[in-house]
Amino acid sequence: MFIIQPLLFEPFTIRGVTLKNRIVMSPMCMYSCYEQDGIVTPWHLTHYTSRAVGQTGLIMTEAAAVSPQGRISPEDLGIWDDSHIDGLSALVKSIQDNGSKAAIQIAHAGRKAMIDGPIIAPSTIAFSDKMKTPEEMTLEQIEETVNQFRAAAKRAKSAGFDIIEIHGAHGYLINEFLSPLSNRRTDSYGGNQQKRYRFLQEIIAAVRLEWDGPLFVRISANDYHPEGNTPEDYVTYASWMKEDGVDLIDCSSGAVVPAKINVYPGYQVPFADKIRNSADIATAAVGLITTGRQAEEILQNERADLIFIGREFLKDPYWPRSAAEDLGIDIQSPKQYERGW
């Protein structure tokens, strides 16, 4: 191929942590905590370790809930209790032993929690008529939730993770505060953009009390709704997050309301590009990026710093190898597989 030195396989350092390449396994819920206790199961160990064997630079876990009430489903991974630390430590060790760095996405599902019992959100507006109506969070519940994110960060550190990502996208709790479509509060957590940001700002500050490593935030950079947040709004949010100590913005989009999205290869890349180049912060691109050449285009044109791969990794645990092949280069295999690669 025409590229001498593909950026995709160049190391990337962020706040002192070096990834061996720019490929990140995107967070994907596995709904595999069959006992509904949030504890890592053999499935997680096999699933994530396979992608580390496949030479992925960074493996990010699926959304791990900061409270039982914040689970998307009862089978979600958890980080709300110290009993989760042992399983997460074993997972981190297995990923790192196979040459990848390990990240955890910490999350609260808000009004999209599909669990028994009451659910909470900034305002009493259901996501759709098929979903439960949430309770409006009191100031005490807001403070408690911020503290749950802090405790989750502390546990992530104990478990040995290299990177933490706060889930602020896809219409879950933090996204519900950010969007005027789901946040109708009239107190200091709702109203103008600054007030809607306050909840996330407090979470970032609380996490930073426990965590001095790289901190990512996943956002939904577009609500795809005339009265919702736009990519321009997220340039402002990103510049605030940078000031508040966030290192990278992981640019996804949508799902705060059931709006239609036009999906095509690289459809979210313009958001990563705009935020990176307007707010001067590192970004990740995600969404229908399927080939090495597509990833390389994004990096060479300075549209993003990292490439998150989701569903392709469900089909091909050795996607980095396929991407290298597409770019016409060889990458190192695990020692054990040298005769096959």
- CA dist 242 and 279 (Å) reads 8
Q: What share of the chain is helix, strand, coil (3-state, %, to 5)?
A: 40, 15, 45
Torsion of CA 116, 122, 125, 129, to 10 degrees: -40
CB of 272 to ligand FMN, least distance (A): 12
CB of 308 to ligand FMN, least distance (A): 6
CB of 25 to ligand FMN, least distance (A): 9
CB of 246 to ligand FMN, least distance (A): 16
Comparing CB distances to ligand FMN, the nearer of 73 and 96 is: 73
As a residue count, the chain comes to: 341
- CA dist 277 and 304 (Å) reads 9
Comparing CB distances to ligand FMN, the nearer of 47 and 185 is: 47
- CA dist 334 and 98 (Å) reads 8
CB of 89 to ligand FMN, least distance (A): 20
Residue at shortest CB range from ligand FMN: 310
Torsion of CA 120, 124, 128, 129, to 10 degrees: 110
Comparing CB distances to ligand FMN, the nearer of 171 and 228 is: 171
CB of 87 to ligand FMN, least distance (A): 17
Instruction: List residues near ligand FMN by CB under 6 A.
Output: 26-29, 62-63, 105, 167, 169-170, 218, 252, 286-289, 309-312
Comparing CB distances to ligand FMN, the nearer of 204 and 286 is: 286
Partnered with residue 65 across adjacent β-strands are 78, 107
CA distance to 113, 272, 279, 283, 337, per residue, from 269 (Å) = 28, 5, 15, 10, 34
217 alpha-carbon distance from chain centroid: 6
Comparing CB distances to ligand FMN, the nearer of 185 and 274 is: 274
Comparing CB distances to ligand FMN, the nearer of 17 and 288 is: 288
